[in-house]
Structure 1
């Protein structure tokens, strides 16, 4: 049950009825008064309304109903639009005291505003209760924890952002190594130029958020994991020459992208790789679902490798669920978080979603070749936080970065690196 004006009124009416019955002698001293707790469902807010995301949510709900048959799963999210529109709608509900019981959020800094405004509660005790500190990697626990050691969400999965997808047939036809592995961005740019000269679209991309996604992988590939992390903790200066080089690399990469980028989103940019209309695309590993749907085989039909210069790093984001503050029955939300974090729930959900479980105690033979590669990388490589997907910075900073990126490389972009760099430095405060 969500705390809405309607439910609040209902509780008030019920309270008044109980008081009236007591005053009239309706309940004897030996009888229990009627309970106001009639909550038998959990309202779950996501923007997973189509494709593998909706299928994954349905599978997770099936696991929940097996594990907690006395509580009904209620899809309390939006039925259309992407994450950005859904977050605006969610914010309106939270501000109007109509919260869902639990809502989807990217783990990390994206949660800061919700924590500051008191919309979510600390769930650290559940990590102890469910033994999650023993089955989640220590690095992940660190990424999920606030400065005071509290945790405000439970991840259902782990996505990798720094993945480059390539069509090996297109590469080989143009004299380029079909393995698509690049130790540095300079070598990558050289091959983009070769493709461009051959009349092939070198690098496919979509609208602004996908460009910010590319920007973060270029920052990581140019700076390395330690200095990249320093952008978010203040130990790397946004005005440094190293960052200037990264932004110049980003500008160069954007010059090799498709002209219709502002009119498409990531699925169409990925489809350009599938259809052989472009050679490379840099996107998170949710893109693997598009290759699976096209019945393509990893290695022969498409390549998935770390983005140029980022081998040895795992650029992390996680779809996580909160416990909303002010709900009438936190026990039902706790039950949902139990399922989300359980081995059964994580295996079932991630086999659909294409991501990997946050838990380390799963049987990796149940997963695809790509997922096994990602699990190995998550175990061995340096974990860094995604900029474009809310792990590295709070919402306000990401919005400022997105606006600066649009002004830099958008349809009317100024293309001036020093201006772009100063705007990014200002966004970081």
Structure 2
């Protein structure tokens, strides 16, 4: 891999990137701060008709989520609008809480749980992320999963992610793909770059260099948030060394030379080809540069496609996507879900809400605008954009589905926070490959 020199300002790489609020501080303090369902029956028993007798709903359904602005506000509006249509007599308190990477949402949830004042439900990642809530979640296997037949309806990966040692405590709402590389069609064509021809990271770096030379656009739009660096490191690892090497790493059996080589490639990418304001902008602002033609490529979860879709941009004409070079046979697995707290303030309403989340109606209404796909198998694709229909097909046919490292599936929140701390302290200020490699190996 040869070094490249870019004319873009790389001084931002020397700035200190302040690490966002990490979940590690809440992991050890949540357990035991709520009464479990077994103590008071807060497990969502009932038939979804309020008080179980077919009369009016008894309590307000309060749901917290982080979808604001360009990263999902319209999808959330559609979801809760459909919920209101399904249950017109239910008092619904939908509370969106902004903040990059769900930092503010996670802190609000932690404060509420620690204070013994849980919401009815909150959006969050399933998988390893649920470990931080041990002892404070309710089991909704019988009253939601079994009653609504969700185990057979949803993809096995999604079912598995929502189950803990204490039962089922979450319901999936959709899946984002983590190994897409999005681009502005006009910019790459002006540069003479064919994204479909990129087979590996070296090809991608050559393409970024060409765009840097031939256009005024930023080659690789980026936000230097630690979680953004982490997810790009993960897909770069998968590209260079493959699915098995990535899985070995997250399972604690990583090869140091492979980790180091991944950092070398990432350093070249981020030190030479990203926007000069990457340290101070979030991914929604960077995504605006893709839409305006001020940037060529962006790697992110396909929530960025939600913005293109809601803005009415033409897929294949104004924007497009390929799999991150070298990961063509993979579907980088990310799952969003709603989580059920124990000692629930509205068990009947919340159980009905959770059953609704797993339904075809909810999965269509939310995902068609979010830039994600249903985890419910066999969902009709008529209302989905061509891009999302393609993504659904890829999900069904993928050879491997590596779980996301930066969004709760692969590792618990404490481990993710440790990795982000390494990136913040040892890699983003400045790009120190050796120290970052040592840090990642130490974490696992």
Answer whether TM exceeds 0.5 for this pair: yes
Distance 1:357 1:295 in 2: 21
Match of 1:286 among 303, 322, 344: 303
The equivalent of 2:432 in structure 1 is 416
SS of the residue corresponding to residue 43 of structure 1 reads strand
The yes-or-no answer on 1:105 pairing with 2:124 is yes
Cα distance 1:44–1:227, how it changes in 2: closer, same or farther (>3 A)?
A: same
Matches of 2:119 and 2:96, distance apart in 1:
8
Compute the RMSD of aligned alpha carbons.
Answer: 2.2
Counterpart of 2:274 in structure 1 is 257
Name the counterpart of 2:320.
303
Greater radius of gyration (CA): 1
Matches within 5 A, 1:198-213: 198=214, 200=216, 201-208=218-225, 209-213=227-231
The question of whether the paired residues in 1 share the 8 Å contact of 2:219 and 2:295 is answered with yes
- Highest RCO, 1 vs 2 (Cα 8 Å, sep ≥ 6): 2
Deviations 1:264-305 (A, max 9, x none): 111221122222222211011111133234432111211211
1:192 aligned to 184, 196, 208, which one? 208
Residue 32 of structure 1 corresponds to which residue in structure 2? none
Q: Which residue of 2 aligns with 1:402?
A: 420
Deviation, 1:375, is 0.3
How far did 1:368 drift?
A: 0.5
**Shift of the alpha carbon at 1:77?**
4.9
Deviations 1:185-219 (A, max 9, x none): 12111222222333642211013132222112112
Q: Please, what TM-score do these two structures have when normalized by structure 2? A: 0.81
Change (3 A) 1:300 1:109: same
1:276 aligns with 2:293: yes
The reply on whether 1:159 has 2:186 as its aligned counterpart is: no
Q: What 5-or-longer segments of structure 1 have no aligned partner? A: 1-7, 9-36
2:188 paired with 1:171: yes
1:360 deviates by 1.1
- Partners in 2 of 1:362 and 1:91 — Cα distance? 34
Distance 2:117 2:161 in 1: 29
2:403 to 354, 360, 385: 385
Output the CA distance in 1 between the equivalents of 2:247 and 2:421. 22
Cα distance, 1:342–1:277 mapped onto 2, change above 3 Å: same
Q: How does 1:10-409 map to 2 (within 5 A)?
A: 39-51=58-70, 53-78=72-97, 80-82=98-100, 83-114=102-133, 116=134, 118-125=135-142, 126-146=144-164, 148=165, 150-177=167-194, 179-198=195-214, 200=216, 201-208=218-225, 209-234=227-252, 236-237=253-254, 239-255=255-271, 256-381=273-398, 382-409=400-427
Q: What secondary structure sits across from 1:299 in the alignment?
A: coil
Unaligned stretches of 5+ residues in structure 2: 1-34, 36-55
Q: Alpha carbons of 1:172 and 1:328: their partners in 2 closer, same or farther (altered >3 Å)?
A: closer
- SS for the counterpart of 1:158 is strand
- Equivalent pairs counted in the alignment come to 384
Question: Given that residues 165 and 304 in structure 1 are in contact (C-alpha distance below 8 angstroms), is that contact kept between their aligned partners in structure 2?
Answer: yes
Q: What SS is found at the alignment partner of 2:387? A: helix
Instruction: State whether residues 123 and 336 of structure 2, in contact with CA within 8 Å, keep that contact through their aligned partners in structure 1.
Output: yes
Shift of 1:341: 0.6
Question: Relative to structure 1, is the Cα distance of residues 94 and 149 closer, same or farther in structure 2, using a 3 angstrom cutoff?
Answer: closer
CA distance 1:172–1:51, change in 2 (3 Å) = closer
Cα distance in 2 for partners of 1:157, 1:377 equals: 15
Per-residue CA deviation, residues 323-349 of structure 1 (Å, 9 max, x unaligned), is 111124422211110111111111111
Change (3 A) 1:308 1:293: same
Show the counterpart of 1:16: none
Residues 396 and 152 of structure 1: is their aligned pair in 2 closer, same or farther, counting only changes over 3 Å? same
Question: 1:149 & 1:418 partners in 2: Cα distance?
Answer: 41
Distance 1:219 1:150 in 2: 33
| Contact 1:254/1:409 (<8 A) preserved | no
| Local SS of the residue matching 1:274 | helix
Is the contact made by 1:323 and 1:330 (CA closer than 8 Å) also made in structure 2? no
Report the more deviating stretch, 82-91 or 47-56.
Answer: 47-56
Q: CA contact under 8 A between 1:157 and 1:318: conserved in structure 2?
A: yes
Quick one: distance in 2 between partners of 1:419 and 1:85? 30
SS at match of 1:262: coil
CA gap of 1:194–1:55, structure 2 versus 1, over 3 A, is closer
**Secondary structure of 1:104 counterpart:** strand
Q: TM-score normalised to the size of structure 1?
A: 0.83
Q: Contact 2:59–2:345 (CA<8 Å) still a contact in 1?
A: no
Q: 1:233, CA displacement in angstroms?
A: 2.5
